[in-house]
Chains A and B, each alone.
Chain A
Amino acid sequence: MSGATDTGDTDAPADLVTGIVVPIHVEYEYTAGEAASRFLSHIPERRLVGQRHGDHGLVYVPPRGSDPANGEPTDQDVELTDQGTVTTFCIVNVPFAGQAVECPYVCAQILLDGADITFQALIQEAEVSQIHPGMRVEAVWVDDPEPTLESIRYFRPSGEPDATPESYKDHM
């Protein structure tokens, strides 16, 4: 960075360097852990499988291995669908480095049918102005899903009637 300066120094050369760009690069080897590995292992079958503790626990997706309400292990798998309800969302209008999707686009919290918590996903194939809480959406998968959440390309409106606020008000 050079050129215009604001150093408060009237003798500063016109080509004073006033800033630097420092590239940060960190490589991790990420270990998913048992619960997330179990969840991810079903993704290639296009199945979203949440987890709960016991028969009556809350259903978490993606599961982290324990029920955060009581610390108990999520020892039961719960088959979900790849359809759900938008509970809240954000319209992204500000471009940033490395952005993969064209602005404006929507990131939404989606309550999958059968789950008790939402997870964040991209919404496409819809005008951002049309997206609203209660909107029903469905997953669009990549052709050959691998055990990663990137196997879901995005969610899109499913065309079903909106969910009632009562159906998701306790899962915001």
Chain B
Amino acid sequence: MTEHSLTASHVVEYDYTRSLGPVLSHFVTGLRDRVVRGTRTKSGRVIVPPLEFDPDTYEDLGADALVDVGEAGVVTSWAWVHEPRPSHPLDQPFAWVLVQLDGADTPLLHALDAGGEDAVSTGMRVQVRWAQDRVGGIRDIACFEPEGAS
């Protein structure tokens, strides 16, 4: 019997094509056009990204409940990434942040290009850095950056 085991690299790779439905279609189309959209629920809360159904009453909210929110907001929580992986949105160390955009009642998860861990804090103001080429997708937001950075 052999004493050792053979190993080989094995890559699994495919494109997952997802239909967005009546609400998220408007969300990503908004991103392409440099607008962030949320849903206003029956109780008046604004949820970003938008939902098709009211989380409190389960009513079908549809595209009529969409509202625009700001492209700047407040960091509500964050985690520093020391070594970005190939699939991450930034090559240099960055923070995953929850950002509550102006006019929204819930935070959005995205990356923050802060330069260093010391520059990140809960409560700091950040703004969207739009991608150069926008096609309709969450990566139309390249990342967030400290407010006033550009």
Contact = CB atoms under 8 A, between A and B. Distances in A.
A and B found bound together: yes
B5 A33 contact: yes
A31 B6 CA distance: 6
Given A17-B136, A24-B13, A5 B18 contact: no
B29 interface: yes
Contacts of B7: 29-32
B23 to A, nearest CB: 8
**Residue from B6, B8, B12, B18 with most neighbouring chain A CB atoms (10 Å):** B6
Interface string B1-43: 1101111111111111111111001101100100000000000
A8 to B, nearest CB: 6
Interface residues of B, number: 32
B20 A20 contact: yes
B13 A32 contact: no
Contacts, number: 112
B5 A31 contact: yes
Given A20-B136, A37-B2, A29 B14 contact: no
Interface of B is mostly: mixed
B6 to A, nearest CB: 4
Categorize the interface residue count of chain A. Answer: 35 or more
Nearest to B3: A34
A167 to B, nearest CB: 31
Contacts of A33: 5
A18 B12 CA distance: 26
B87 interface: yes
Nearest to A10: B63
A21 B19 CA distance: 9
Interface string A12-48: 1101111111111111111111101110110000000
Interface of A: 1-2, 5, 7-9, 11-13, 15-34, 36-38, 40-41, 97-98, 147-148
Q: Which 6 A-B pairs have the closest CB atoms?
A: A17-B136, A7-B22, A28-B10, A30-B10, A32-B6, A37-B6
